Amino acid sequence: MTGIASLIRPGTPSALGLTPGVTEHIDAYTATGGYRDTVGAAELLDRIAEAGLRGRGGACYPTAAKLRSVRDAGRPPVVVANGEEGEPGSVKDRWLLRARPHLVLDGLVRAAEITGAERGYVYLSDDTAAERVHRALAERAPRLPVEIVSTPHTYVAGEETAVVRRIDGGPALPTAKPPRPYERGVGGAPTLVTNVETLARIALLAARPDHGHRTARTTLMTLAGGDADPLLAEVPYGRTLRSLARDQGTPEPAGALLGGLFGGLIGPGSLDLALDPDALAAAGTALGCGAIRFLGPGECPLALARDALSHLAAESSRQCGVCVAGTGAISEAVAALTTGTATPDIAGRLERWAASLPGRGACGLLDAAAGTAGSLLRSFPHLVRSHLDAPCPACATSAGSGGRLTVAVPGVAGRTVPHQRPAASSPLKGTP
């Protein structure tokens, strides 16, 4: 079972809300400042820029710059709340749509006002989330037409050009760039494709503009690993990865897989890095979608890399030959290491692929595979060498356990309740 915890300072606007185990009713949402006209569109854009809000979908791109590019594209744009969560280790987006659909819709409306958009979409693959968003739309019709578009769940379905292609009636597969959606997207119109947590934080900032910096420097994280249950946590930037491992229940991790499958592997010496997009990027890893899988005692990093690469190879959309060949080759090579059947030149081949393959596919899947291989060589070179000598007992024990990458969405009851503070038995843990 996936737990929920608030690790932020009291008074910080929270994406978790007051009753995270129950779908938030419109009355509860408006009672805490939701949908309130506290700030105009132009001022809100300035506040977003001043706060330094970045996207929470994986790229960490400055939100204000993305909003401006769509606003200034020259035609009435379209706005899309992207709730398709392709990373198996992330649950925050589906949880937000199930538990706090009004927060997401509020952010979507405000993004439309900033950009001048005339219509909006909520894009998702989760049936429960779709039902809760439908209910929220019935409780309060937004100031612009909003349509829900469902897609089959795949790793690449949330990539921004795949989102546009699906909304336009095609398959949820990436397309070549340029043009990017902000230039030409849904129906040919400039399109803002924004992660649902980014929109939620826009709404929080609109309700409490005096806390913009704290809102922008707080994020939802999916933490998993070891023998402990996964945890959906709201975390301030600056916390160390080691402290997050303790919060999740893996107190002495041997390393971690960061950013879902995009940030690669880090060793135990990197666990004192601060949770901050710039600090992590400078260290050669990435915050990505905000998912971390810690390595528990006795787990082998190569087994975790094998599972991640196997998933990526299986999820290739098979549109780019270089991606099909590249992800398959990397996956097979690391799998051979875990079974003691790799050839002596394996490290050299992995190093070449890690250096030459990024940027050659239509989406980030090939980059994630190449990055995983490169991070394995950087963080655990001694283990790569030792796996050439003999089969690894830890890898053999975990063979076929790729499902351990997947995290379940925390339970959210479908009933609605009036505005109230959580009782002592609430699943929302207190701030330490």
Residues 27-40: tens digit of each pLDDT: 999 999 999 988 99
Range in 55-59, 157-161, 241-245 with the lowest mean pLDDT? 55-59
Residue 389, pLDDT > 80, answer yes
Residues contacting 132, CB < 8 A, separation 6+: 23, 97, 98, 99, 101, 412, 414
Measured over the CA atoms of residue 95, residue 163, residue 112 and residue 199, the dihedral's sign is: positive
CA dist 20 and 427 (Å) reads 7
* pLDDT greater than 50 at residue 9: yes
Cis status of the peptide bond prior to 432, with omega within 30 of 0: no
Q: What is the pTM of this model?
A: 0.93
Q: Where are the domains of the chain?
A: 20-215, 218-403
The pLDDT score that the predictor gives to residue 93 is: 98
Share above pLDDT 70 across residues of the chain, in percent, rounded to a whole number: 95
Confidence (pLDDT) at 403: 66
pLDDT-derived band at 430, boundaries 50, 70, 90 = very low
Q: Please tell me the distance from the alpha carbon of residue 74 to that of residue 335, in angstroms, as a whole number.
A: 50
Residue 402: pLDDT band with limits 50, 70, 90 = low
More confident residue, 417 or 412: 412
| Residues forming beta bridges with residue 3, ordered by sequence position | 231
The answer to whether domain 20-215 has CATH 3.65.10.10 is: no
Burial class (CB in 10 A: 0-12, 13-18, 19+), 421: exposed
pLDDT of residue 415: 62
3-class secondary structure per residue, the chain: CCEEEECCCCCCCCCCCCCCCECCCHHHHHHCCCCCCCCCHHHHHHHHHHHCCECCCCCCCEHHHHHHHHHCCCCCCEEEEECCCCCCCCCHHHHHHHHCHHHHHHHHHHHHHHHCCCEEEEEECCHHHHHHHHHHHHHCCCCCCEEEEECCCCCCCCCHHHHHHHHCCCCCCCCCCCCCCCCCCHHHCCEEEEEHHHHHHHHHHHHCHHHHHHHHCEEEEEEEECCCCCEEEEEECCCEHHHHHHHHCCCCCCCEEECCCCCEEECHHHCCCECCHHHHHHCCCCCCCCEEEECCCCCCHHHHHHHHHHHHHHHCCCCCHHHHHHHHHHHHHHHHHHHCCCCCCHHHHHHHHHHHCCCCCCCCHHHHHHHHHHHHHHHCHHHHHHCCCCCCHHHHHCCCCHHHHCCCCCCCECCCCCCCCCCCCCCCECCC
Report pLDDT for 8. Answer: 95
Average pLDDT of span 399-420: 72
> Shortest CA distance to 226 belongs to which of 255, 188, 266?
255
CATH among 2.130.10.10, 3.10.20.600, 3.30.565.10, 2.60.40.10 for 218-403: 3.10.20.600
Stretch 351-355: mean pLDDT, rounded? 96
Of residues 421 and 104, more confidence is placed in 104
pLDDT score recorded for residue 176: 87
User: What is the reported pLDDT for 400?
Assistant: 57
**Region 50-63 average pLDDT:** 93
| 418 has pLDDT over 90 | no
pLDDT bin (cut points 50, 70, 90) of residue 361 is confident
pLDDT category at 390 given cuts 50, 70, 90 is confident
Tell me: pLDDT of 309 over 80: yes
CA angle, residues 3, 91, 305, in degrees to nearest 5: 100
Count Cα atoms within 13 angstroms, Cβ side, for 203: 30
Model confidence pLDDT, tens digit, residues 182-231: 999 999 999 999 999 999 999 999 999 889 999 999 999 999 998 899 99
What's the rounded mean pLDDT across residues 95-113?
98
